[in-house]
Chains A and B, each alone.
Chain A
Amino acid sequence: MHSFGYRANALLTFAVTILAILCAFASLSDNLNVPNPSAHVQVLSINWFQKQPNGNDEVSLTLNVSADLQSMFTWNTKQVFVFLAAEYETPQNSLNQVSLWDGIIPSKEHAKFWTHTANKYRFIDQGSNLRGKEFNLTLHWHVMPKTGKMFADKIVMTGYRLPDEYR
């Protein structure tokens, strides 16, 4: 350690290593957080429900989504990406997940929200199976940290059903 260069080099390496350890600890501290989120979704109306020329069913809905995700936020959270997916089963597919709406929650203050919106992404089936279909609406969230491990969870809301006939 007998010149500028060496000491600076040793210092830099050590400082960066310690920084990495700090970030790892910050990420680990997220596990101490116990979240208790809540959500409620209401299908206000079916705007239209048709069969496309290529044979796939498509439906357009208006939804009211309200949720409280404030407990998900920790000191190491950069944002929470939240989206609502319709999940259902068809004879051809064991699982279909179609995202209807998503949003980004940048901070804790915005985490308690409600939104009244038509579906942002088209709800199109692979085939023509949607008439009278029962489906779940699942609110998923992905917590994106400032540094470290990302984690995700969801709330499943059951009991929704599409109309039996095209409109």
Chain B
Amino acid sequence: MLKVSFFFFLRCGFRNLNQREKKTSKGRGRERKMGWIGETMDSIRSLQIRQVLNQAVSLGMIVTSALIIWKGLMCITGSESPVVVVLSGSMEPGFKRGDILFLHMSKDPIRAGEIVVFNVDGREIPIVHRVIKVHERQDTGEVDVLTKGDNNFGDDRLLYAHGQLWLQKHHIMGRAVGFLPYVGWVTIIMTEKPIIKYVLIGALGLLVITSKE
């Protein structure tokens, strides 16, 4: 869902960039149309097809560039999900619902105090909490990690899978290294009220098709 809002933002920027080029080709197209009126219908039809294709290609370009940037970020930060939105109030007052966290995963060992994002087997939504206990093995370097939300009373053992007492490194998706407040509300609204997502995508599609510029 973050991708959709990302894409929307990109689209507005792109729209400004593409303005001039679209207008020029449009102008010339209309010129020719004026000269050929009274000639064949399908030359007009072909021009309209061309305009539609033009729009479709620009839209495709925007979607593709959004995807490229997203995948690029995934590579750079080494994390499956380089940007997450805080969904619950378990880390207040530090991170409120609707904040965005930038993640980074490096080979450095997990240490107490770090804010990590992890996936529990069986739960699809990643959780953002702080590490409070670390036990690192001498020989293998494997770690057992216990986490807890700042605003929660007890540790996260209730959230882990049944019988699981510790998290291992492979559960952890990344460490939080930076954050932006309030920006994630768009994603939350679109996830919790999917109708808004459809309305937004519909409006976007409509704008692209009907815009003259």
Contact = CB atoms under 8 A, between A and B. Distances in A.
A89 to B, nearest CB: 8
Interface bracket on A: 35 or more
Nearest to B141: A94
Contacts, number: 89
B113 A94 contact: no
Interface residues of B, number: 32
Grouping DSSP codes into helix (H, G, I), strand (E, B) and loop, the A interface class, with mixed when no group exceeds half, is: strand
Given A92-B137, A93-B136, A149-B177, A140 B155 contact: no
A26 to B, nearest CB: 11
B132 A96 contact: no
A78 B178 CA distance: 13
A113 B179 CA distance: 27
A159 interface: no
Contact of B132 (A13, A102, A152): A102
Interface string A138-150: 0010101111111
Interface stretch (B11-19, B27-35, B55-63): B11-19
B76 to A, nearest CB: 15
Interface in A68-109: 78-79, 81, 83, 85, 91-99, 102, 104, 106
Contacts of A78: 93-94
Nearest to A85: B112
